[in-house]
Amino acid sequence: MNVIEDTLKELEATKNDFWNISKETGDFIEFLIKVSKAQNVLELGTSNGYSGLRIALALKETGGHLTTVEYWEKRRSVAVENFKKCGVDDIITAKLGSAQMVIEEELQNETFDFVFIDANKAGYIKFFHAVHPLLKKGGIIVADDVLSHCEQVKPFVDEITNRDDYSAQILNLPDGVLIARKNF
C-alpha cells in the first residue's frame, strides 16, 4: 500500500467525524474530473481534505489545480497536512474563510470548469449565485447531500433544475448528489 491509499483508507474510517463524502461519491467525482478533463476546480467545504484528495488525484492526471475553502482553521490545518503527506499540496490552494466571502473577495479574477459544493447546506443557493459568473460555459457543478438535507438545499435544487442555462440531474449516490452542466 502506498501513502495515498493508506491515507484515504484512514480518512474513510473516520468519515462520520469529519462529514466527508462517501467513497462512492469520491469515485464518481474522480471519474468525472478525469472524463471532463477539468483544469480549474473549486471546492466549498474542505473539512479534513478527503474529497480534496480525491479531486487532486484526478487533477494529477488532467494537469489541473484545486482551490478549496474552509472556515474552520483546525480542519483546514488537518487538510493541509493530508495534502502534504500525499504529495498533492503543489496543486492545491487551501483558503481559510467563509466560502461566500472568499469567492467575492479573492476569486473574482478566476474562472472554473468544475465546482464542488459541500459547505453549509442552507448556503448552497448563495454559493451557487456567487460561483455562477465564475463557471465557464460547459462547466460542471456537483453538490453533495441534496437528498439527506433536502429541505435545506431546496432553494438551490429548485432553481438550478428549472434554469434554461443549466441541465441538472440528481443521482442516487449516498446522501444524494446533484450534477449540473452550465449550457450557456
Ligand X SMILES: C[S@@+](CC[C@H](N)C(=O)[O-])C[C@H]1O[C@@H](n2cnc3c(N)ncnc32)[C@H](O)[C@@H]1O
Binding site for ligand X (CB under 6 A): 19-21, 45, 47, 50-51, 69-72, 75, 98-99, 118-120, 123
Rounded Cα–Cα distance for residues 87 and 84 (Å): 5
Give whichever of 7 and 51 is closer to ligand X, judged by the CB atom: 51
**What type of residue is 59?**
L
Q: DSSP readout, 58-116?
A: HHHHHT-EEEEEES-HHHHHHHHHHHHHTT-GGGEEEEES-HHHHHHHH-TT--EEEEE
In the complex, least distance from residue 19 CB atom to ligand X, rounded to whole angstroms: 4
With respect to ligand X, which residue has the nearer C-beta, 10 or 138?
10
3-state SS, residue 38: coil
User: Could you tell me the smallest distance in angstroms from the CB atom of residue 154 to ligand X?
Assistant: 17
Of the pair 113, 118, the CB lying nearest ligand X is at 118
Please report how close the Cβ of residue 72 comes to ligand X at its closest, in angstroms.
Answer: 4
